[in-house]
Amino acid sequence: MVKTLRFICAALLAALILLPFLQVIMRDVFGSAIVGAEELTRFLLICTVFVAYPLVVRSGENIVMGELRAALPARWRHWLGLLITLLSLGACVMIAVVTAMNISDNLRNATPTLKIPFWIFLGACFIGFAGGAVFHAIQLFRPETPEDSDTHSVSL
Amino acid sequence: MGLILIVLFLALFVLGFPVVYSILLPAILYVVLEGLPLGLLTQRITYALDSFPLVAVPLFIFVGNLMNLAGVTDRIFRFADTLVGRIPGGLAQVNIFSSLIFSGMSGAALADVGGLGKIEIEAMKRRGFDAPFAAAVTASSAVVGPIFPPSIPLIVYGSVTSVSIIQLLLAGIIPALICIALLMLTAAIIAMVRGMPRADRWSTPREIGGALLPALPALLAPVLMIAGMLLGLFTPTEAAAVTAVYVVLISGLVYRELTVAHLWNAMLTTLRSTSAILIIVAAASLFGWILAVEQIPQDFSKLILTISSDPMILLLIANLIFFIAGMFLDSTTATLLVVPVIAPPMVMAGIDPVHLGIVVIFNLMLGLLTPPMGLSLFVVSSIAKVSLRQLLWALMPFYVPLLVTLAIITFADGLVLALPQLIR
Amino acid sequence: AELRYAHVGAEGDFQTRFAAEAATEIEEATGGDVTVQVFPASQLGNVAEMVDGVRMGTIQMGHHDFASLARIVPEVAVFNAPFVYTDAEHAMRATDPATSPALQEINERLIEEGGVRIIGRIYRGARHISSNFEIKSPDDMAGKPFRAVPLDLWVSMVTGFGATPTPVEVSELPTALMTGMVVGQENPLTMISANKLNEVQSHVAMTGHMQSVLAVFVNEDTWQSLTEEQQAAITEVLDAKAAESLQWAQESEAALVEELKGKGMTFTTAENGLDLDAFRENVLAQIDQDFPDFGPYIEQIMSMQ
Ligand code: NA
Ligand code: NA
């Protein structure tokens, strides 16, 4: 499953790079911009962010300021970690469920120019949070490993 | 209710909840308690990412990752060495100058620290610099990364405020150059006082040329990007795509160091970083909606404008607010949650939104260097293997040029706006 | 009842004044039983979010171009179509929810399919073409990159002008005009003045190709939860305000022409050689080709002259 996700994500990212590039070539070299290219690019971004989210949860790369927690005594840290994972799981499940319900309400909704149906990116959103929930659930049963506790929050 | 939400967010955040859940949990609670349609959750989260400018975020992250993997970084460092290695401070100057070149392709501060920073710190240690000083130079020079174009924080700022991103990117150039010059001056003074090593002689033009050639494709990337935007050939997002394709091509065809494994790794790292950042953008937009309905930004605007309507005083207030925000929040979260509250009254009072953007982002970048939540500090201290205390102590003199730069960009708006003025 | 009224208009725009004044007057007209809280400047989200918010009921009321509702009923965009109105008054008649058969027919479908009802309109001025060279006929625009609002109706219209439709975000529009990514755009004169496009554009062709009328719409469940008296009071306020907005726009247009002339812009009108008929013919032909479903509605609208 992780492998599939990775391939989908990589394909999305490649499209995200190539599409605007192609648009530049079409407009500046051939003088005819592709109608709807921006819409498709935005749409791909939405899908990319959500579909890659389970990978973020899996590798523990969510942006977090863990400094206070790291300074707590081991037992407190353990219980707080459990609470965080539990509530994170809850939030993911909630969003996933609401999104799933939303898909049926939005079956006829589509983007204005290319008429890309909404269910595709709502589906991506569902995959993102459902996948996130799965990996949070795994964390719940496999409590933090020693190296987890001193990984610093890193964001770009 | 609005204030309770903010307090709840801060509490979860400080306790070590991932930022995205620190935002989502109070928001979900609000939607449920207020009996709002649950569809609001999904709607806000997905629409927030429906933004063409934000597409530039993964593209510039990708460029930064690829440069670190495909040998571009080493060449930049070697070229900088031939240019400024003789200046008092030696490798410290090289370190600072490399950051400027690197920042012309990378849009994030921590990409600089994580990739280039490693090379810089190791080289400095080998040549006899003490580790805390090397770490301090690296951390402070990384600040220019998101000031000099390209810049992910400026793109996020532009997309939140609907300010022209091209203008924001151009506005960053002069402040970044000032900051680099002041940092180099500081390093030179410290080096002379403490008698630090430097190159024995200036490099010959031939040597400079020899190092320039390999670095040239990297040096051309920002030129290509800025010229293309100025000539109307592409938008900032397209500039990011062009740069990405360009970097893939030069690292594959010119440097021949790009392997499929590199590309694959760069893509996966990019995807995770992108998702980790933009999922916060998504969650923050839900939170922002709730704050707007609760009239928090509106009330705050009125409050600020009752304090003063003098742009200078308002800019000082903005400095204070964003300096503090930067101490506690990461730059994306701070931009998303604080800017929509603070920027409208400032702009209404006559502050140029492009100028304000540079002031805001510079403050937030300083936040990377200040405890308690200074991301750059943590990364650099772990790379250089120095304690936070040692690093902070070594950083003290470098806060001076950084704060002087902040003062200059706050008060000399003409300087900041000189380049954007060209295309107004 | 308490209504959240969202729109994307900025400070100083007529639509912002419209919403603020309408809110106060609705409160007065209903004796304080219906209060309206206005959220201008995209505070509650962009256009698409606002429309979906009104459908969903997280936002009760909003206004924007008719075409923004096309995601519910595509044909509603016909009220934005170029060259379907002879003048502003005609546009206001054709978009009157109480009397226009075309609007009523489409309103039924909006209510049925999206739970959204149009209850008023705002006149925001005629749209004209600005450029950095003189335009007298579609031939002058042939093959040149013009900014098109990224909606198919606009793309179709700009194609009808003969130009190459090129999408540009509003926030980048002045820069794109300055750098030459696009050589022209079309908007009401208020927008040209407010965004200082006169600094990057030399000419305005007074095509008046579109009458910019915005639809004021409300969530149907919310509307049905109001008493008939309240509904009548709100409609009355919005109707009076619509007439006022027409007056604001017409008064300001003449002043704006003078102001922009003073700032060095050159205006092309039918008197000095603007070939309006050529524009009308080309654009209507393109619209007819791209939107065959508009046909009957366009006939209905044109018959209301
Ligand atoms: Na940069
Ligand atoms: Na550096």
pLDDT one-digit tens code per residue, B354-379: 999 999 999 999 988 988 778 888 88
Name the 3-class secondary structure at A151: coil
- The Cα–Cα gap between A109 and A116 comes to 9
Q: Decide if B232 touches C, using CB distance below 8 A.
A: yes
Q: Is residue A97 part of a domain?
A: yes
Which position has the token pair 């050639």? Answer: B213
Name the 3-class secondary structure at A35: coil
CB burial string C64-75: b at 16+ within 10 A, e below: bbbbbbbbbbbb
Ligand 1: distance of its center to the CA of B241 in Å?
A: 15
Contact C50, C6 (CB under 8 A): yes
Q: Do A155 and B276 touch (CB under 8 A)?
A: yes
Contact B117, B383 (CB under 8 A): yes
Interior CA angle at C44 toward C38 and C48, to 5°? 115
Q: pLDDT tens across C50-69, in order?
A: 999 999 999 999 999 999 99
- The Cα–Cα gap between C67 and C129 comes to 19
* Residue B161 CA: distances (Å) to CA of B126, B320, C135: 46, 20, 34
pLDDT at position A144 is 57
Contact C205, C128 (CB under 8 A): yes
Ligand whose nearest atom lies closest to the CA of B240: 1
- In the complex, which subunits touch B with 3 or more CB pairs below 8 angstroms? A, C
* Residue A80 CA: distances (Å) to CA of A83, B16, B51, C299: 5, 9, 36, 68
One-letter amino acid at B236 equals: P
Q: Do A35 and C165 touch (CB under 8 A)?
A: yes
Q: Chain C interface residues facing chain A, Cβ-Cβ under 8 Å?
A: 48, 52, 70-71, 113, 143, 145, 150-152, 155, 164-167
pLDDT at position A143 is 62
Q: Is residue A156 part of a domain?
A: no
Ligand 2: distance of its center to the CA of B328 in Å?
A: 24
The structure tokens listed for A142 are 């496999």
Q: Domain ranges in chain B? A: 2-423
DSSP C217: E
Contact B17, A136 (CB under 8 A): no
- The Cα–Cα gap between C59 and C39 comes to 10
Give me the residue from B40, B47, B423 closest to C175, CB to CB: B423
DSSP B195: T
- The Cα–Cα gap between C207 and C274 comes to 8
Is a pLDDT exceeding 70 seen at residue A147?
no
Residue B6 CB burial class (10 angstroms; 0-12, 13-18, ≥19): middle
Q: How many domains does chain A have?
A: 1
Q: Do C175 and B44 touch (CB under 8 A)?
A: no
Residue C257 CB burial class (10 angstroms; 0-12, 13-18, ≥19): middle
Bridge pairing between strands C2-6 and C35-39: parallel
The structure tokens listed for B161 are 């405020």
Distance of CA B5 to the CA centre of its chain: 28
Q: Is residue A126 part of a domain?
A: yes
User: Which range marks the domain in which residue A86 is found?
Assistant: 2-150
Ligand 2: distance of its center to the CA of B222 in Å?
A: 18
Give me the residue from A39, A108, A110 closest to C150, CB to CB: A39
Bridge pairing between strands C203-219 and C184-188: unpaired
Which position has the token pair 């020693």? Answer: A146
Contact B270, B58 (CB under 8 A): yes
Q: pLDDT tens across C131-178, in order?
A: 999 999 999 999 899 999 878 899 999 999 999 998 887 878 988 998
Ligand 2: distance of its center to the CA of B55 in Å?
A: 27
Q: Is residue A155 part of a domain?
A: no
- The Cα–Cα gap between B230 and C176 comes to 9
Task: Count CB atoms within 10 A of the CB of residue B227.
Answer: 12
Closest by Cα among B424, B187, C34, B47 to A49: B47
pLDDT at position A150 is 39
Is a pLDDT exceeding 50 seen at residue B125?
yes
Give me the residue from C52, C171, C178 closest to B43, CB to CB: C52
pLDDT at position A151 is 42
DSSP line for C90-118:
HHHHHT-TTT-HHHHHHHHHHHHHHSEEE
Q: pLDDT tens across A39-95, in order?
A: 999 999 999 999 999 999 999 989 887 778 888 999 999 999 999 999 999 999 999
Give percent of chain A above pLDDT 70: 91
Q: Do C41 and B344 touch (CB under 8 A)?
A: yes
- The Cα–Cα gap between B60 and B237 comes to 9
Contact B9, B20 (CB under 8 A): no
Contact B191, B90 (CB under 8 A): yes
Hey, of C55, C80, C152, which one would you mutate to test binding to chain A, going by the most A CBs within 10 A of its CB?
Answer: C152
Residues of chain A in contact with residue C143, where contact means CB-CB under 8 angstroms, are: 31
State the pTM of this model.
Answer: 0.90
Nearest-CA distance C110 → chain A (Å) = 13
Closest chain B residue to the Cα of C49, Cα to Cα: B47
C-alpha count within 13 angstroms, C-beta hemisphere, residue C266: 12
DSSP A34: P
